[in-house]
């Protein structure tokens, strides 16, 4: 297996407020900056409205033919329109519960996140909260293992 896998990422903001122009996308910007600081090339940033179908549609489009990380922000809480985890569940082929568990443990409010993590093809998808501080804290909790996880997904030699 090659040790050199390009670290590429996409960021998805899930927010009715950002879509309708009543809220600034500070969490998407914060995730993008954090990923760049940690050696990722952020190749796309998108925004979608909240809701299971909206999130699933955009995650499917973003992950199609993509090999890298998609970090979403927003829609992981308890509000009725917070359906990012449900939309993510529609799209992923395999869960990565260790990532989601580690992300929730980063701070006491993390226990209120319903975010999930999983794999679709050669894409790792992780959900982070919509708060600017929370999204970065949760991604920081797993950033150290993501390059290795992406290398494992790119491994075409299954002899091990």
Q: How far, in Å, CA of 113 to CA of 115, rounded?
A: 5
pLDDT digits 0-9 by tens, 21-74: 999 999 999 999 999 999 999 999 999 999 999 999 999 999 999 999 999 999
- Domain edges within the chain: 8-154
Q: How far, in Å, CA of 94 to CA of 57, rounded?
A: 18
The pLDDT value given to residue 2: 46
The pLDDT value given to residue 1: 43
Name the packing angle between helices 26-37 and 132-140 (round to 10°): 30
Q: How far, in Å, CA of 100 to CA of 103, rounded?
A: 5
The phi, psi pair for 68, rounded to 5°, reads 170, -155
Question: 52 with 90: CB under 8 angstroms?
Answer: yes
Instruction: Note the pTM of the prediction, 2 decimals.
Output: 0.94
**Domain 8-154 top-level CATH class:** alpha beta
Q: Which residue, 114, 124, 113, is CA-closest to 91?
A: 124
pLDDT digits 0-9 by tens, 61-115: 999 999 999 999 999 999 999 999 999 999 999 999 999 999 999 988 888 899 9
């Amino acid at each position: 297996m090659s040790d050199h896998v390009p670290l590429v990422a996409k960021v998805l903001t899930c927010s009715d407020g950002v879509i309708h122009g009543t809220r600034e996308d500070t969490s998407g910007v914060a995730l993008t900056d954090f990923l760049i600081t940690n050696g990722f090339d952020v190749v796309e940033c998108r925004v979608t409205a909240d809701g299971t179908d909206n999130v699933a549609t955009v995650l499917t489009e973003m992950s199609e033919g993509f090999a890298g990380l998609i970090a979403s922000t927003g829609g992981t809480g308890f509000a009725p329109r917070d359906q990012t985890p449900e939309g993510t569940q529609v799209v992923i082929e395999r869960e990565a519960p260790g990532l989601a568990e580690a992300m929730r443990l980063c701070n006491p409010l993390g226990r209120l996140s319903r975010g999930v993590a999983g794999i679709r093809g050669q894409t790792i998808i992780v959900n982070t909260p919509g708060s600017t501080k929370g999204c970065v804290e949760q991604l920081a909790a797993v950033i150290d293992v993501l390059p290795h996880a992406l290398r494992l997904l790119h491994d075409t030699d299954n002899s091990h």
